[in-house]
Structures are given as structure tokens and as C-alpha cells.
Amino acid sequence: MMLMNSQVQKLYRLGHALGIDISIKRDDLLPMYMGGNKVRKNKYIFKELVEEKIPDIIMTNGGAESNHARVCALMAAEWGIDCHLVLHGEPDDSDYLHGNQFFIQSTGAVVDYVAPSCIAETLAKQKVEYEKKGLNVAVIPGGGHSVTGAKAYIDAVVELHEEPEYIVFASGTGATHAGIQAGVELRGWKTRVIGISIAREQLRGQQAVEEIYNELMGTYSDKTIEQYAGIEFNADYTQGGYGKYSRYSIQKLSWLVGKTGIAFDPVYSGKAMLGLINMIESGCIPRNAKVLFWHTGGLLNLQSAKKLSFFIE
Ligand SMILES: *Cc1c(COP(=O)(O)O)cnc(C)c1O
């Protein structure tokens, strides 16, 4: 087990405004590679890789502003391992190098920008090319979406000192969600674990979490789980898809920043936090409940989000 111990802090002013007992787990402040949940996942994935054999080159994929790609590129650079990223979207053509792009470019990683439908093919082709040259290639799944990545979140739950009634966070590909759910159950807790979808619609998102959860729990078959309430994946707050947000939500996020002194971005943590606030205000989560919001990062997405000033009045 690898303990990272991000801190938990109470959000007094926000809790008072919402009539709730709310704390926040600061994975946005994990002390490596600019933080966020991709640090936890990739630390585990990387450890497993290098224990086998240190690769010559790491390949992975993601969006142009992928937090996962940034963490992989920085981790590889630190170790002196080459990195090849296959990203979908466009390279940033503005006068500024924003968010994750700055870090990705700084490492000197090779980057291919392709259409989403060409990612798998591009990765496979490039891998063969490198292997022909006798190089040892490690392909890390996009988003760090793997059982090893999810295990990092089982261990992360061990860091908590108290059992919350609710844990709420931004859920994307599902490994973080599966890990937290499994971690809660392995501690024998009754906590309700609610992932707020930042992009996927209900059915697909829920299935993705369930699949990796089942695979993950398969590796813990010696443990009997008494309490499995099912995966709670909430797709009511996607705001129309990945990276999409409204004027209203940016205004609400800037209010949140003022109430907490913490950065919330409109792509991940902020979107999830707005979902949580709505669940509290609409009574889905009762007043005075003990809630832990798990901040999974996103500061660099905030830095590269478009039209923020236009939205803030
Ligand atoms: C990737 C990411 C998530 C979602 O994590 P998954 O394990 O893919 O569900 C949440 N927040 C941030 C900041 C992320 O980068």
C-alpha cells in the first residue's frame, strides 16, 4: 500500500450556507505532478510497470487537455522514459500555452493529434513501430482506467479517519468511483458513494463503473462484502456533455471559490460540486447529513476553460 494522505478539511462557511456538515478531501493538492486523481492512479500503474521492467517508452491517450496525459508525461520525464501521447482535439493555437498543454509540451513528449475514432489504431501502429526498433513499450490505458488505478482509491479510503454518510465526487471513466465504492465496503462502512457524471449518460456511465468494480472486487474474493447497495452514478448534472457549462454554473462556481478559497473547475470538480449542491437544495441529501466531497483536481482545466471572464459578471 502506498499512502499519500491528502488532507481533509471542513468547509465551515459553505456548510453553514447549505445547512450541512461538509468536508473536502484535497486530492487536488497531492504533491506530485500538479495533483489530482490521475496522480494516485498513475503512481500505482507506474509502480507495477517498473517493477516488471522499466520501459523505454510509455504510450497513452486522452483529450488535448487531459489531466491523465499530463501526469503520464511528467512522470515519464522524471524517470527519463520517453513518452508518446495520442490525443484527440486540437493543439492550442492561442498566444498562451494553457493548463495541461504547457506541461505536456515542456516534457518534450511526442504528441499525435487524431480524431477520437483513430486513437486505438494509432496507438497500435506506433507500438509496433517502436517494437520493431527493439524498444520496450508500455501502453497505459486512457484515463488510467484499470484495476490497478482503481486500487489506488481503495487505499485512498483507508486515509479517512471518520465514516461519512455520503462521499460525492466527479465520475468520468469510473475507476475512481469503483475504487472508492470498494474501499468503503472493505472498511465495512455504510457510506453512500455517489459519483456525479461529468460527461457520460446514465446507462453507459453506470455500466462502466460496474464493470471495473466487478473486476476489482474479483481480486478481493477472500473478503465477504456485507453491504453492497449498488453503484450510484448520477447523470443529472452533465450540462450537456464533457467540458460544457453554462453562464449560471460559472457564476455559481465563482461564488463557491469565494466561499471556500478552493479552486473548482467547470469540467470536473466544479461540475460535481454543483451537482452536490443541487442534491442538498432539492432534499435528495438531507439537511445536517455528514458529507465528504472528494476533490479530484481540475485546476489546470480551470486555467484553460474558455470564456470564463465573459461568464462572470
Ligand atoms: C479524470 C478525472 C476525473 C474522473 O476520474 P475517473 O476515474 O475517470 O472517473 C475526475 N476529476 C478530474 C480532475 C479528473 O482529471
| Mutation pick for ligand 1 pocket among 253, 296, 299 (CB with most ligand atoms within 8 Å) | 296
Cα dihedral across residues 113, 240, 180, 219: positive or negative: negative
Ligand 1 centre distance from Cα of residue 172 (Å): 5
CB 174 within 8 A of CB 200: no
DSSP one-letter code for 81: -
Q: Is the pLDDT of residue 277 over 80?
A: yes
Ligand 1 centre distance from Cα of residue 131 (Å): 31
Ligand 1 centre distance from Cα of residue 37 (Å): 6
Q: Is 70 helix (H, G, I), strand (E, B) or coil?
A: helix
**φ and ψ at 198, to 5 degrees?**
-100, -5
Q: Which residues line ligand 1 (CB under 6 A)?
A: 36-38, 67, 143, 170-177, 268-269, 296-298
CB 58 within 8 A of CB 126: no
111: left (phi over 0), alpha (psi -120 to 50) or beta: beta
**pTM for this prediction:** 0.95
| Mutation pick for ligand 1 pocket among 45, 145, 268 (CB with most ligand atoms within 8 Å) | 268
- pLDDT tens digits along 244-267: 999 999 999 999 999 999 999 999
Q: How far is CA 121 from the centre of its chain?
A: 25
The confidence band for 158, taking pLDDT boundaries of 50, 70 and 90, is very high
- What is the distance between the alpha carbons of residues 14 and 23, in angstroms, rounded to a whole number? 10
Q: Which atom of ligand 1 is nearest to the CA of 298?
A: 13
Ligand 1 centre distance from Cα of residue 28 (Å): 11
**φ and ψ at 261, to 5 degrees?**
75, 20
Ligand 1 centre distance from Cα of residue 245 (Å): 17
- pLDDT tens digits along 13-58: 999 999 999 999 999 999 999 999 999 999 999 999 999 899 999 9
**Share above pLDDT 90 across residues of the chain, in percent, rounded to a whole number:** 87
Q: What pLDDT does 225 receive?
A: 55
